[in-house]
Amino acid sequence: MDGLENLRGAWLERIGSASDEAALEDIRVSALGKKGEISLKMRELGKMTPEERQAAGPALNALKDEVNAAITAKKAGLADAALDERLKAEWLDVTLPARHRRQGTIHPVSQVTEEVTAIFADMGFSVAEGPQIETDFYNFDALNIPGHHPARAEMDTFYTHRREGDNRPPHVLRTHTSPVQIRHMEQHGAPCRIIAPGRVYRADYDQTHTPMFHQVEGLALDRDISMANLKWVLEEFYSAFFGVQVKTRFRASHFPFVEPGAEVDIQCSFEGGTVKVGEGDDWLEILGSGMVHPKVLEAGKIDPNEYQGFAFGMGIDRIAMLKYGIPDLRDFFASDLRWLRHYGFASLQMPSVHAGV
């Protein structure tokens, strides 16, 4: 049995010092192969007496298993070492920049339009649309602004060219989203709740005016809607939009298409040179509104004795500037990549009431 112990020591040592898989395989063959040393010893068992076999058999089997296991373990060790070696060689400077992937953005006007839509949709308002080139009827007359009305001159209206011989009054680029009110009333009647966001145009250009900007119109008609409802709707809207409780202040004013009319201020502070909505004691003028004028209802083929309601119009670019701290309106339409990337929104940043706007 001492022989076996020597044998074991010798093989384990050879296995231990095998330098690669090939050497290990040679060892396996010479130890456990058909003519391997241990295999030959096993064959000798047959010549032994049962008693001898009783003792030598298990010992030899154990030796065989042990050598086998040592080879397997050594093999795994060698493979690991080889892998380690390879991985070491595969070292990369991972501080190198990644492959470029373009980052697209959503324009603030689109984002804010979707925010406004999400909030008003929750209050049951759907989205109405109308043409940007309008007749003077829809843009003015139907809104109780007849041809001689001073408000027409004050609107800085863009007119479209008329060909020689075409004596119709020129069309206009809509100066507000209000004509959508009339078109919607004509097509769908009352009751209704709509907002109408979109491009509007006025011939004016300076730091706070661009010849094109965006408005959202609101219209709610029913049998008993009052200005107090309007105030509630607007306060709900602004609170959701700015993410803080916002108070409004109504001030009497005049727009030909409403009666009574009001300008609406939102609560804010001007401390430190920045506007903070929803705090402080100051007020910021934010929109024009009122109860739809009976003549406007009539123009929309709705009986003013049966239905009443409110309308409002506010600047989308304006509330975008306020909410996101964008200083200059003109940059909205300049398409400067630096601006688009800085003020733009990720494609998956989709406004919703449940996720927040």
The reply to whether 342 sits near other proteins by the rule CB under 8 A is no
The reply to whether 117 sits near other proteins by the rule CB under 8 A is yes
**Contacts (CB under 8 A) with other proteins, residues 146-175:** 148-151, 153-154, 158-163, 170-171, 173
For the beta carbon of residue 174, count every other beta carbon within 10 angstroms: 25
CB of 311 to other proteins, least distance (A): 13
The reply to whether 340 sits near other proteins by the rule CB under 8 A is yes
Q: Is the CB of 33 or the CB of 158 nearer to other proteins?
A: 158
Q: Is the CB of 43 or the CB of 162 nearer to other proteins?
A: 162
Round to whole Å and give the CA distance between 217 and 198: 9
Full DSSP string of 191-214? SEEEEEEEEEE-S--BTTB-SEEE
Stretch that binds other proteins, among 6-14, 24-32, 81-89, 334-342 (CB under 8 A): 334-342
Round to whole Å and give the CA distance between 256 and 155: 12
Which residue pairs from 12-15 have beta carbons closer than 8 angstroms and sit at least 24 positions apart in sequence?
12/66, 12/67, 12/70, 15/67, 15/70, 15/71, 15/74
Q: Is the CB of 26 or the CB of 285 nearer to other proteins?
A: 285
Q: Is the CB of 33 or the CB of 278 nearer to other proteins?
A: 278
Contact 60, 41 (CB under 8 A): yes
**Contacts (CB under 8 A) with other proteins, residues 38-97:** 96-97
CB of 46 to other proteins, least distance (A): 51
**Contacts (CB under 8 A) with other proteins, residues 273-312:** 291, 293-294, 308
The reply to whether 355 sits near other proteins by the rule CB under 8 A is no
Round to whole Å and give the CA distance between 276 and 93: 47
CB of 86 to other proteins, least distance (A): 22
Q: Which amino acid is at 4?
A: L
Q: Which residues pair with 292 in a beta bridge?
A: 258
Among 229, 305, 239, 304, smallest CA distance to 262 is for 229
CB of 325 to other proteins, least distance (A): 18
The reply to whether 254 sits near other proteins by the rule CB under 8 A is yes
Round to whole Å and give the CA distance between 108 and 285: 21
Q: Is the CB of 88 or the CB of 101 nearer to other proteins?
A: 101
Interface pattern 205-244 for other proteins (x via CB under 8 A) = x-----xx-------x---xxxxxx-xxx-x---------
Round to whole Å and give the CA distance between 326 and 265: 20
